[in-house]
């Protein structure tokens, strides 16, 4: 691990601080002694084989998954077993899912205004203005009155990103955002994500899009069997893997 | 580079569309199928003319007593016509029947309004009115609260009673069963076991047994000296019975909502009740609509069981009419057929309304 990273441990202003985090599903130890610090504005890509715990660690950050040992602090708020506390953290963290998870019974506009109206208690007019602003940013303002079922996968995922952004989050989590998309639609979603990264959003992204990682990531984390095996800049990770496990992984995904 | 242009669409060939190909395809594809088709046509040809003759052409329509039914080869609709007031209104005072008609007209008006009105108006006016209507109707029929002549529930009866009891129990059972279904999914052991016990009790005990319990056992639980109205007790029993069934319908709906919906709602920071009412409930209702309707229809038809405990709903009124000494000419076919047709019309309308709601709720492929 680089010296640069050692220094950041001293810095308590980090937006995400994960210490000795352990998680079990029953007897199965899915996350083992995870230590991770994320600086404000940092873009992190997490990769690894399936079952390595990369999604699980992401989902721990907004408490979609609970953990049994260790501590997790998001934007200065420590995650404890308390509904108010969890909801406070969730308001800081936006999440984009593999299967979009838009609300099928609501129009695109209603999907976007739901959070601002009910969680942030904004007036409907203001929420709609915010929603339209973000729909324009993801380049589909003309779809506002449609239902999610009428949109293509790529459009749905862009709506999902806009839905998270409407809550004005400090951190965006992406859990394999392009894995369920047709090849022709991956680019339109990645473009939106690159734009977001350029604006300085703190991002944690589980993905296998290595081109995306090379382009925007400050740090790539490689996980296997519930632990962080290697983390480094994308150049180091791709050109100079330190472990045979990462070397094997890279050869598997880059060979075709 | 070569430019790609898609081929133009061609019209479908003549031998796959139109009535003749349809007949050949569906009714006469093979010799055996043709034979079956002809046999079915022959069966209906022998059955339908005499049936229609009995029902309509030879039937006796006019008169006031059973002596008017002179043609013995036809149905005696005089019986049904003479008793129709009792069938629909029971023994409700004749000069007060306008109250029942008002309620009925209000119901029809609200149903039409909820289909015609704009979405916002519908949600703000028509639906709350619809939910309140059974209770407003009870106040109007009772009369004592609003300065009209008091009509005791002993005089309520006929088809009015079937409709009112079913509607009033459905409307209370709907939220109650949703809470039970939620409780059954709860992580809290106490709430979960209470819900499971309630659901399984009211689903597992026959409705007739519940009615007897309601009319015989329930009074034992009320403080001494209080006289709880018989209809009120029946209404409570129907509501609880309905809730037991509906809770399981809702549980099925809950299971069909993908986990991602809960996660997306959670990640937006919605609270439990916001998540449940704004995200989950609408999807559960949409998924469960056919089963909700099936339960409604079942409950509506079950109101005829009330004749067993001596409540004068439509079927027991019919039986009373059939045993009336002036009408002992054996009109049971006409009487029961009439009851069946009235119930069928109502259930079929409910079915039409529900499928139209299903179409309205279907947002998956609306282009």
Q: Is the pLDDT of residue B357 over 50?
A: yes
The whole-angstrom separation of Cα B282 and Cα B178 is 12
> Which residue from B306, B289, B295 is spatially nearest to B170, judged by alpha carbons?
B295
Q: d(Cα A166, Cα A177) in Å, to the nearest integer?
A: 18
Q: What is the mean pLDDT of residues B86-93?
A: 87
pLDDT at B322: 87
User: Which residues are CB-neighbours of B334 under 8 A, at least 6 positions away?
Assistant: B75, B76, B77, B79, B80
Which chain B residue has the Cα nearest residue A163? B268
**Residue B50 falls inside a structural domain:** no
DSSP output for B99-123: HHHHHHHHHHHHHHHHHHS-HHHII
CA nearest B195: which of B246, B261, B257, B271? B246
Within-domain flag for B308:
yes
Would you mind telling me the total number of residues written for chain A in this entry? 256
Over residues B96-122, the pLDDT tens digits come to 888 889 988 998 888 888 888 877 778
**Token pair 């059973």 in the structure block, residue:** B66
What pLDDT is stored for residue B76 in this prediction? 84
B44, part of any domain: no
Sign of CA dihedral A157, A159, A161, A164: negative
Instruction: Compute the mean pLDDT over every residue in chain B, rounded to the nearest whole number.
Output: 87
> For residue range A45-86, what is the model confidence (pLDDT) as tens digits?
999 998 899 999 999 998 999 899 999 999 888 888 888 888
Count of domains observed in chain B: 1
Report the alpha-carbon distance of residue A234 to residue A241 in Å, rounded: 10
User: Which residues does residue A93 pair with via DSSP β-bridges, in sequence order?
Assistant: A171
Chain A residues within an 8 Å CB radius of B258: 99, 101
From A115's Cα to the closest Cα of chain B, the distance in A is 6
Q: Are B345 and B287 in contact (CB under 8 A)?
A: no
C-alpha span between B167 and B146 (Å, rounded): 22
- Tell me the pLDDT band of A3, cut-offs 50, 70 and 90: very low
User: Tokens representing A135?
Assistant: 């729909």
Report the pLDDT value the prediction gives residue B195, as an integer from 0 to 100. 95
B-chain residues within 8 Å CB-CB of A102? 264
CA distance A195 to B301: 61
Virtual CA dihedral for B39, B43, B49, B52, nearest 10 degrees?
A: -130
Is residue B156, in this structure, part of any structural domain at all? Answer: yes
User: Counting Cβ atoms within 10 Å, is residue B352 exposed (0-12), middle (13-18) or buried (19+)?
Assistant: exposed
Does residue B59 lie within any of the structural domains?
no
- Angle at which helix B189-204 crosses helix B230-256, to 10 degrees, equals 120
Residue A256 is predicted with a pLDDT of 57
Q: What is the pLDDT of residue B197?
A: 95
Q: Does B270 touch chain A (CB under 8 A)?
A: yes
In angstroms, the CA A36 to CA A46 distance is 12
* Number of residues that this document lists for chain B: 367
3-state DSSP assignment of residue A152: coil
Q: Which of residues 338-367 of B touch A (CB under 8 A)?
A: 361, 363-367
Q: Provide the CATH number for the domain around residue B232.
A: 1.10.3720.10
A217 versus B367: which is more confidently predicted? A217
CA distances B81 to A31, B62, B66, Å, are 78, 9, 11
Question: Tell me, what's the pLDDT at B46?
Answer: 93
Contact predicate A164/B263, CB 8 Å:
no
CB count within 10 Å of CB B42 equals 10
**Contact call for A149 and B261, based on CB within 8 A:** no
Indicate yes or no: CB of A90 within 8 angstroms of CB of B366: no
Query: How deeply is B253 buried, as exposed, middle or buried, from its count of CB atoms within 10 A (0-12, 13-18, 19+)?
Result: buried
**pLDDT band of B143, cuts 50, 70, 90:** confident
**Cα angle for residues B283, B284, B289 (degrees, 5° grid):** 100
- Res B365: pLDDT: 54
Does the beta-carbon distance from A105 to B263 stay under 8 Å?
no
Q: What tokens appear for B217 in the block?
A: 């056992």
Please name the residue ranges forming H helices in B226-279. Answer: 230-256, 259-267, 272-274
Write down the pLDDT at residue B73: 81
pLDDT for the residue numbered A7: 43
pLDDT of residue A5: 45
Asked whether residue B278 is domain-assigned, the answer is: yes
How far are the Cα atoms of A1, A136, A179 from residue A100, in angstroms, in the given order?
A: 35, 18, 11
Residue B357 forms part of a structural domain: yes
Question: Would strands A227-232 and A219-224 be described as parallel, antiparallel, or unpaired?
Answer: antiparallel
**Which stretches does DSSP call E strand in A5-154?**
16-25, 28-38, 43-47, 69-74, 77-78, 93-96
- Cβ(B268)–Cβ(A113) below 8 Å: no
User: Which helix (H) or strand (E) segment is A54 a member of?
Assistant: helix A54-61
The pLDDT of residue A2: 43
**pLDDT the model gives residue A184:** 85
Residues of B in contact with A99 (CB under 8 A): 258, 260
At residue A8, the pLDDT reads 43
Tell me which residue in B268, B271, B363 faces A114 most closely, judged by beta carbons. Answer: B268
Closest among B261, B272, B280 to B187, alpha carbons compared: B272
List the structure tokens of A12. Answer: 């308590």
Nearest-10 crossing angle of helices B230-256, B281-302: 140
- Token pair listed for B334: 């006409």
* Structural domain boundaries enclosing B222: 77-92+151-361
| Burial label, B111 (beta-carbon count in 10 A; 0-12, 13-18, 19+) | middle
Give per-residue pLDDT as tens, A153-176.
Answer: 999 999 999 999 999 999 999 999
State the nearest Cα–Cα gap between B270 and chain A, in angstroms: 6
- Could you give the ipTM of this predicted complex? 0.89
Q: Which residues are CB-contacts of A11 (< 8 A; sequence separation ≥ 6)?
A: A37, A39
Q: Which residues 6+ apart lie within 8 Å of B141 measured at CB? A: B92, B99, B100, B103, B151, B156, B160, B164
**In sequence order, what are the residues at sequence separation of 6 or more whose Cβ sits closer than 8 angstroms to the Cβ of residue B72?**
none
Q: Is B194 exposed, middle or buried (0-12, 13-18, 19+ CB in 10 A)?
A: middle
- Predicted confidence at residue B219, as pLDDT, reads 76
Instruction: Name chain A contacts of B187, Cβ cutoff 8 Å.
Output: none
Q: Which residues in chain B are contacts of A149 at CB distance < 8 A?
A: 363-366
User: pLDDT of A94-136, one tens digit each?
Assistant: 999 999 999 999 999 999 999 999 999 999 999 999 999 999 9
Number of A/B CB contacts below 8 angstroms equals 73
* Among B127, B286, B116, residue whose Cα is nearest residue A149: B286
Q: Describe the crossing of helices B158-184 and B189-204 by its angle, rounded to 10 degrees.
A: 150
Q: Assess contact for B153 and B231: CB atoms under 8 A.
A: yes
Buried b (16+ CB within 10 A) or exposed e, A32-70: eebebbbeeebbbbbbbbeebbbbbbbbbbbbbbebeeb
Angle at the Cα of B17 from the Cα atoms of B13 and B20, rounded to 5 degrees: 120
In a domain, B311, yes or no: yes
């Amino acid at each position: 691990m680089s010296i640069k990273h050692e220094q950041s441990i001293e810095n308590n202003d980090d937006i995400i601080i994960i210490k000795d985090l352990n998680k079990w599903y029953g007897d199965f130890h899915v996350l083992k002694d995870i230590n991770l610090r994320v600086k404000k504005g940092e873009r992190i890509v997490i990769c690894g084989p399936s079952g390595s715990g990369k999604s699980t660690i992401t989902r721990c950050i907004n408490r979609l998954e609970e953990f049994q040992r260790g501590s997790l602090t998001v934007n200065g708020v420590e995650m404890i077993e308390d509904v108010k506390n969890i909801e406070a953290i969730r308001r800081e963290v936006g999440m984009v899912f593999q299967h979009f998870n838009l609300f099928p019974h609501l129009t695109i506009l209603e999907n976007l205004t739901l959070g601002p109206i009910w969680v942030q208690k904004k007036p409907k007019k203001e929420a709609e203005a915010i929603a339209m602003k973000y729909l324009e940013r993801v380049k589909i303002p003309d779809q506002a009155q449609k239902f999610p079922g009428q949109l293509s996968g790529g459009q749905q995922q862009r709506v999902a990103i806009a839905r998270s952004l409407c809550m004005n989050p400090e951190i965006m989590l992406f859990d394999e955002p392009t894995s369920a998309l047709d090849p022709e639609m991956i680019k339109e979603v990645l473009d939106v994500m690159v734009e977001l990264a350029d604006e300085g959003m703190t991002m944690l992204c589980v993905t296998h899009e290595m081109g995306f990682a090379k382009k925007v990531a400050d740090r790539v984390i490689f996980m296997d069997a519930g632990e962080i095996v290697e983390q480094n800049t994308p150049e180091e990770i791709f050109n100079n893997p330190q472990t045979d496990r990462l070397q094997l992984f890279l050869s598997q995904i880059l060979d075709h | 580079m070569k430019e790609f242009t898609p081929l133009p669409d061609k019209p479908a060939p003549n031998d796959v569309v139109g009535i003749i190909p349809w007949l050949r395809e569906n009714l006469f594809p093979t010799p055996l199928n043709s034979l079956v088709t002809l046999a079915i046509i022959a069966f209906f040809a022998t059955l339908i003319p005499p049936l229609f003759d009995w029902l309509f052409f030879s039937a006796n329509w006019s008169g006031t007593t059973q002596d008017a039914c002179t043609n013995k080869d036809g149905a005696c609709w005089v019986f049904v016509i003479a008793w129709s007031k009792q069938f629909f209104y029971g023994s409700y005072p004749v000069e007060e029947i306008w109250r029942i008609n008002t309620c009925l007209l209000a119901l029809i008006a609200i149903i039409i309004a909820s289909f015609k009105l704009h979405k916002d108006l519908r949600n703000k006016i028509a639906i709350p009115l619809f939910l309140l209507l059974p209770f407003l109707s009870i106040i109007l029929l009772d009369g004592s609260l609003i300065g009209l002549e008091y009509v005791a529930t002993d005089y309520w009866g006929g088809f009015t009673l079937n409709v009112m009891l079913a509607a009033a129990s459905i409307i209370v059972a709907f939220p109650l069963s949703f809470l039970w279904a939620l409780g059954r999914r709860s992580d809290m052991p106490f709430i979960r076991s209470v819900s499971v016990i309630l659901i399984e009790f009211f689903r597992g005990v026959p409705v007739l047994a519940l009615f007897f319990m309601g009319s015989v056992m329930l009074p034992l639980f009320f403080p001494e000296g209080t006289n709880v109205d018989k209809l009120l007790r029946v209404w409570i029993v129907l509501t609880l019975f309905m809730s037991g069934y509906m809770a399981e319908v809702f549980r099925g709906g809950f299971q069909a909502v993908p986990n991602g919906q809960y996660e997306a709602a959670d990640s937006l920071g919605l609270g439990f009740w916001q998540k449940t009412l704004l995200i989950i409930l609408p999807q559960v209702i949409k998924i469960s609509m056919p089963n909700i309707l099936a339960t409604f229809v079942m409950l509506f038809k079950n109101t005829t069981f009330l004749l067993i405990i001596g409540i004068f709903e439509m079927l027991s009124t019919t039986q009373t009419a059939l045993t009336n000494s002036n009408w002992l000419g054996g009109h049971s076919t006409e009487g029961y057929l009439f009851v069946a047709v009235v119930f069928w019309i109502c259930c079929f309308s409910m079915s039409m309304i529900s499928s139209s709601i299903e179409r309205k709720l279907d947002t998956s492929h609306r282009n």
